[in-house]
Chain A
Amino acid sequence: MIMRVSGLALRLIVTLLGGGLLALAQGPPPGPAGPGGRGGGPAPAIDFSGWWTANLQEDSAERGAGPELVDFGGIPINEAGRLWALSYDTSRLTSRFHQCDGYVAPYSVRAIGNTRVWEERDAKLQTLIAIHWYSQTFEGHRVIWMDGRPHPPAYAPHTWMGFSTGEFAGNALRVETTHLKQGWLRRNGAPESDQATLTEFFVRHGDHVTYTSVINDPVFLAEPLIKTTDFFRQPTDPGAWLFPCDDSEQVFGRADDEVPNYLFGKHPYLDEYAKKHEIALLGALGGSQTLYGEFQQNLARASDAEARARTLPAPGPPLTSRAVDPDPHDGDIHVLPARENVYMLVGDGANIVVQTGDEGAFVVDSGSGQLTDKVLAAIRRLSVKPIQFIANTSLHAGHTGGNEKLKNAGSDPSVVGTFLALGTPGAGSTAAIMAHENVTARMDGSLGNPPAPSGAWPIDTYMAGRRRKFHNGDSIEMFYVPNASTDGDSIVHFRRADVIVAGDVFDTTQFPFLDLANGGSVQGEIDALDTILSQTVFEHSGEGGTLVVPGRGYLCDEHEVAEYRDMVAIIRDRVKALIAAGASIEQVKAGRVTADYETRYGANTGPWTTEMFVEAVYKSLKSPVRSKP
């Protein structure tokens, strides 16, 4: 026994000598392995735990009281970013759907307020799982995953804080963040898009942290925006950690579809900041060139006309989207749990939603029909019960292409044995397809459309208002949203799970598909988006809470819907103003009324181009249509 213990002890010592302790006998490896880079093997973890406060001695006015209007100097915004910012009327913050908007991660880090950092370690193994970075402002809680997990797919939700992974590199904590919401580069309108990614470096110098952020935004930036700031350790708990916000009525009598904005070239305070501080307007408008010393010479000789030309879209064709395509396009169906028993299926045209439970599966939309066998297989993995109901939000093929196959694979036992089945052989032997009456009327050819196969037609239809069903323990409502993308659109709300399926009314991949030939209109589209917003509730700081599945794109909440609604309303206002001024369709197109949104949603090829969208807006404003709600 003594010998065995001694042997064990010896092995322990040898292990220690050969491993950890020996590390102490060596200095840090000198040489070119610089901090903050990649490679060179894992570096030791660095402790950032504690209470910290951001130093506001730089950009103090902006970070404290707030920036002045049209102060974009030092931000490498591109044309889209500049025009978006110049269109922004701060009164937009009075909108119920923006009052509590949080800050995106890189802006949050620079905000006033307290910060607390702590480690999350595996209880048994003590390995580092995550570093939590909590900011008092908007209660921004970042989780920086340190366990090597991958970033989520492009169709996963975006949040203010995004999804962060980290690693120690040299003497720095390096963090990569994706899946951010649209937010601020500067809170006077300079936007950061939902396509932005963030690289950060945290370096400790005793009780001081140097923080560096690199924002890459293909939508609104011409080059990465790099900022640095400092944090200082607080020895005592500041005791102030919360940041409540509830929205309220701030402007009575304002219509739901009114979004405060300035038309291109009409910002009423365009040169207020420049004049006040005796800076050439060209500098105040920002852009890459303003970052560098050489711009001092440009500032001296910048003409007012040159600056004012930048407040309008440049002539030329529309730009195209630089956004990541959220569809994997890999021939497979991907399942994303939304909430509770509701799932989003991605990969076969429009998004499909499946609700499961003790009863049969309730499916919203059936995809394009290209991958229906895989859709069925995915549903069978989620639900032991067959499909009982299929709801179509739209008549478009991307939503109805799999109708027949899914229907035939399901059944509706609630019909079997009822008086409804009398004289109807086979009743209940397939799933029931539900939709607004106009979907069926257009699919069966009665409104002049080429008929779809009869097996794909919805037969359980409604004509106005809403269709209700309590199923799988949830209250499900279909709301008719008239003359939006078409005259047959519905949105579907799973009330208990609080998931809304928006159909073609809301699409994070393109400008809204206004199908005028099938009864769509821009005003109906805006009203439909407002209908969605009338039913959403955010959890905190304008995010979370009600989830919204777009027709195409990533899983959203009300923030994305509000930004999309704002966009459509703003473009409508621009086209309206041009029509009022007597502009022709060609003049409207040449005016690039979509210029600040093209790098996010634009397309010059494919089934729905920017030009087609602008034309649809123009035509639907010139000849409004209206169905009964």
Chain B
Amino acid sequence: MRPSALLPVALLAGICPLWAQAPGPPRGGPASAKRAASFDPTGYWVAQITEDWRYRISAAPKGDPGGIPVNAAGRRVAAGWDPDKDIASGDACKAYGVGGILRMPGRLHITWDGEDVLKMEADSGSQTRWFSFAQPRGKAGDSQGVSMASWDRLRPAISGFQLGGGASVGGSLKVVTTQAKPGYLARNGIPYGATATFTEFYDLFQVPGGDTLLVASVEVTDPEFLTTPYWYSVHFMKQPDANGWTPGPCSVK
């Protein structure tokens, strides 16, 4: 028995619980979402359409879902899509809701609205989204739904029992949107329902040549119209100014 040799272990066993908590806010009170941001998403951004080009730069033919895992009910709705009917019923913006807006070939303008809300405007269809890190800001039943945001960082499942390392540096902007008005995942009437959930991860990258890239990876779950979760990822290039920013009405054709 060599009690002295066990001393480090004993000490560590006692000390570790002191750190067995998720990293807390900096001293001086809770940090605002803006202060705690992993990156700066603000500014003007232009979408680059390099994937699903035919589906995004122009509307695909009626009933063509592309790679969207739409179920039989969704196919029936898509087959019955009537753009004139949408216009007549005041639903011209159904493809510009939370389920479709990021795939539109347009521009985004992102700003902070206070310390805990990000405002995302899209010139396509003149849409506005609110990403709230605290109190919900969006409206249930609105085409953009209610979006709750957080800074998503890789963390161990249980903290405090490892030596060294810790949480990763940086992190994604995670936005979860629910309670959106039913709309279209694509401009040719591929539907999503009222119970659909949209989980978005935004990341920022510096690319060769000095450009800044905003990548959004999106999961759509919809028990009403999808067979499995639908994932897509889109990207936007940072713009130096508002040049090219042209808010316009929704278009169904």
Contacts and interface: CB of A to CB of B under 8 A. Distances in A.
Nearest to A211: B233
A23 B204 contact: no
Interface string A45-83: 010000000011111110000000001011100000000
B172 A205 contact: yes
A55 B231 contact: yes
B230 A57 contact: yes
Interface in B132-187: 152-154, 159-160, 162-172, 174
Interface in B216-233: 217, 219, 230-233
Interface residues of B, number: 80
A417 interface: no
Contact of B235 (A21, A171, A226, A293): A226
Interface stretch (B31-39, B75-83, B87-95, B110-118): B31-39
Contacts of A6: 4, 7
Contacts of B67: 56-61
Contact of B52 (A46, A58, A278): A58
Contact of A20 (B107, B164, B201): B164
A170 interface: yes
A22 to B, nearest CB: 8
B122 to A, nearest CB: 11
Contact of B12 (A13, A37, A71): A13
A278 B253 CA distance: 13
A59 B169 CA distance: 32
Contacts of A30: 26, 31, 35-38
Nearest to B206: A37
B217 A230 contact: yes
A34 B206 CA distance: 9
B8 A13 contact: yes
B66 interface: yes
Nearest to A209: B217
B250 interface: no
A210 B57 contact: no
Contacts of A58: 51-52, 67, 232-233
A377 interface: no
Contacts of A205: 152, 172, 174, 201, 217
A20 B164 CA distance: 3
B28 interface: no
B12 A229 contact: no
A29 interface: yes
Contacts of A123: none
Nearest to B234: A228
A283 interface: yes
B201 A214 contact: no
A508 B177 CA distance: 53
Contact of A27 (B26, B46, B124, B217): B26
Contacts of B26: 27, 30
B204, B219, B234 — which one has the most chain A CB atoms within 10 A of its CB? B204
Given A21-B19, A226-B48, A292-B49, A172 B105 contact: no
B169 A170 contact: yes
B124 A293 contact: yes
Interface string B9-43: 00110011011000111100001000111111000
A171 B231 contact: no
Given A59-B51, A230-B217, A28 B153 contact: yes
Interface residues of A, number: 77
B97 to A, nearest CB: 18
Interface stretch (A84-92, A294-302, A406-414, A432-440): A294-302
B51 A227 contact: yes
B205 A172 contact: yes
A35 B172 contact: yes
A279 B233 contact: no
B40 A74 contact: no
A381 B205 CA distance: 46
A57 B170 contact: no
B98 interface: no
Contacts of B204: 34-37
Contact of A23 (B61, B105, B164, B172): B164
A20 B163 contact: yes
B173 to A, nearest CB: 10
Interface in B174-217: 174, 201, 203-209, 213, 215, 217
A464 interface: no
A56 B51 CA distance: 11
A208 B48 contact: no
Interface in A163-212: 169-172, 174, 197, 199, 201, 203-205, 208, 210, 212
Given A292-B49, A296-B58, A296-B105, A23 B165 contact: yes
A171 B152 CA distance: 10
B111 to A, nearest CB: 16
Interface in A1-26: 2, 5-6, 9, 12-13, 16-17, 19-21, 23-26
B99 interface: no
A291 interface: yes
Nearest to B161: A24
B68 interface: yes
A331 interface: no
Contacts of B208: 197, 199, 214, 216, 224
Contacts of B104: 293
Contact of A9 (B8, B40, B170): B8
B11 A228 contact: no
Contact of B57 (A35, A74, A199, A228): A74
Contacts of A201: 203, 205, 215
A35 B215 CA distance: 11
B244 A294 contact: yes
A629 interface: no
Contacts of A351: none
Contacts of A61: 66-67
A190 to B, nearest CB: 12
A32 B31 CA distance: 14
Contacts of A415: none
Contact of A35 (B5, B47, B61, B205): B205
Interface in A264-296: 277-279, 283, 290-296
A170 B38 contact: yes
B69 interface: yes
B213 A33 contact: no
Nearest to A299: B58
Interface of A: 2, 5-6, 9, 12-13, 16-17, 19-21, 23-38, 40, 43-44, 46, 55-61, 71, 73-75, 169-172, 174, 197, 199, 201, 203-205, 208, 210, 212, 214, 216, 224-230, 277-279, 283, 290-296, 299
9 contacts: A5-B2, A24-B162, A25-B23, A34-B170, A40-B169, A208-B219, A210-B215, A291-B50, A294-B244
Closest 9 pairs between A and B when the two form their complex, measured CB to CB:
A170-B170, A20-B164, A60-B67, A27-B23, A34-B39, A74-B53, A36-B205, A293-B105, A35-B170
Given A33-B169, A60-B67, 6 more contacts: A20-B165, A28-B38, A172-B205, A197-B208, A277-B54, A293-B105
